[in-house]
A = this chain, B = another copy of it.
Amino acid sequence: MDKPVTIKDVAREAGVSAMTVSNVLNGRGRVSDVTARRIRKVIEKLGYRPSVAARRLRLSQQWTIGMLIVVEDPDFLSDPFITAQVTGLTNYLTANSYSLILRGIKPSDFRTTGLFQDIEADGMVAILSGDQDQRNWFVRELATLRAPFVLLQEQRVPPDTDCAIIRQDDMDGGRQVARHLLASGARKFWMLLPQTEWAAMRARKEGASQVIREAGAPDIEVISCGDESYDVTYRETLKALDRLTPPDAIIGGNDQMAIAAMKACAAKGLRIPDEIQITGFNAFDIWRYVDPVLTTVRSAAHAIGERAASELIARLQSGAFTETEIVLPIEFQPGRSTRSPS
């Protein structure tokens, strides 16, 4: 319709130059109170809004961080572990006048998507999935953007890259879960893992395996649960219970999987925790919806998101990441789906 009002329109109406308007807007330079007040009146009257595009071009800074979630599942925000990180990120960015661009893409679309053609963010935060090869490839692609980035949940820092990793101590979480179960008498373990290899889940498994091997118990049996949805996990657990002797304990890769397993065990008539113990991971609200309340590990997800934002902003200001590997502690949270250690 009507052309948007620009800084020039304001300047003309106020009888000053565009520069003076800019100074008022940005609090720079010396402008007399009288002039400033007059200009502000005109801005209000005309409904003037600065053009972000122009300012960004001029300053070659975007005040924008891109959040990239690389997953096969198009419903990429359904996992509370991810949404909590996104929330922490946005909240911190908003408080610091940065914008967050959110994008979920499938590994297969990775290359063709706009984000990788254009530069619209000063920095990136990414959650990757897939095997190590695929993740390495993602990291190389990200690096071609020539913008600093933070990887969440990754276990290894890519060498020679303007990049930092932030994660919670999933391996320690795995260790604590395994110790608790061993102390409660478990010797034979299953762990439920999705097909998609999340780095965080791998670490949980490694931590648990390590403690279990050290205790001289047989290594964990991995039950592969496809897309980690409730239905698939439930079905795969049932199948495994049909095929194999039930273990003493099932370690869920996350809470949702643990709950599906719980229901599967209940369907088989196995009493929890007497006949079989079950643990989850992350301690989001759902953990308490179930009966018995799930033994799980409290996640630092929100803090991870916040930290990613603060590290990235610091990096943009200082020119280099101060730390490239940040590990946040997690907290074991016993429930009633496991027995208390004797």
Q: Which of B53, B84, B285 contacts A256 (CB 8 A)?
A: B285
Do residues A288 and B103 form an inter-chain contact, with CB atoms below 8 A? Answer: no
Complex Cα–Cα for A90 and B113 (A): 13
Smallest CB separation, A142 vs chain B (Å): 13
CA distance A62 to B52 in the complex (A): 10
Binds B, one of A43-51, A152-160, A219-227, A239-247: A43-51
Give the residues in chain B near A57, CB-CB below 8 Å.
51, 53-54, 56-57
| Most chain B CB within a 10 A radius of its CB, from A54, A76, A83, A91 | A83
Size category, A interface:
35 or more
Contact status B91-A83, CB under 8 Å:
no
Known: A49-B117, A50-B118, A289-B290. A103 touches B90 (CB 8 A): yes
Tell me if A's interface is mostly helix, strand, loop or mixed.
mixed
Given A53-B60, A77-B83, A101-B100, A146:B47 Cβ within 8 A: yes
Query: Which chain A residues (54-83) contact chain B, with CB distance < 8 Å?
Result: 54, 56-57, 60, 62, 64, 74-78, 80, 83
Cβ of A4 under 8 Å from chain B: yes
Number of copies: 2
List residues 209-260 of chain A with CB under 8 A from any CB of chain B: 230, 256, 259
User: Chain A: residues with CB nearer than 8 A to chain B?
Assistant: 4, 47, 49-54, 56-57, 60, 62, 64, 74-78, 80, 83-84, 86-87, 90-91, 94, 97, 99-105, 113-114, 117-120, 144-146, 230, 256, 259, 263, 285-286, 288-291, 302
The chain B residue with its CB closest to the CB of A79 is B83
Residues of B contacting A290 with CB < 8 Å? 289-291
Contact A285 B230, CB 8 Å, known A78-B87, A144-B47: yes
Contact B100 A103 (CB under 8 A): yes
- Contact of A87 with B94 in the complex, beta carbons under 8 Å: no
